[in-house]
Amino acid sequence: METITIQFSRGRGILSSLVAWGTWSWSSHVDIVIPIAGASELLVGANAGLGVSLRNSSKVLADSKQVERYTVQVENKADVYNSALSLVGSGYDWMGILGIVSRTRVQNKNKFFCSEFVAHVLLENGVGLFNQPLHRITPRDLISSTKLSKV
């Protein structure tokens, strides 16, 4: 088994605070950390306005109010990274955000919000974090998974 790193964060803005409040969590966002040899790490995740995209981890760290990292065991981390990267360019799941509140949503397989994206990539690679639909998983749910270990 190998491990990958998942990064939880909370930005400094009002939208980030609203997401954290609405999901009963300190965290408002989650990404998969991809180490790059000889360079800073990249984060891949679903971001409002951008969809699934890559970001520089040092910039996110500088712009965040709080950051925590967790590891999770996977069979093959290269497969996880490839799965995540293959979804770059997918849309952001705005209706999914509304569905968390209303609990009335069908999962859109072509769009993701951050925690749905991370859970989807892990499940594609044999790591099921929960026995609940992916479209209802929030950052708080991910943090509470017994399969994650705090770094």
pLDDT, tens digit, 9 for 90 and up, residues 28-78: 999 999 998 877 799 999 998 899 999 999 989 899 999 999 999 999 999
pLDDT, tens digit, 9 for 90 and up, residues 70-129: 999 999 999 999 999 999 999 998 877 666 655 555 566 789 999 989 999 999 999 988
What residue ranges do the domains of the chain occupy? 2-150
Residue spans of alpha helices (H) in 28-138: 57-63, 77-86, 94-102, 114-124
Torsion (CA) 32, 35, 36, 41 in degrees, nearest 10: 70
Q: What is the pLDDT of residue 104?
A: 58
Q: What fold is seen in the domain 2-150?
A: endopeptidase fold (from Nostoc punctiforme) (3.90.1720)
Q: d(Cα 28, Cα 98) in Å, to the nearest integer?
A: 15
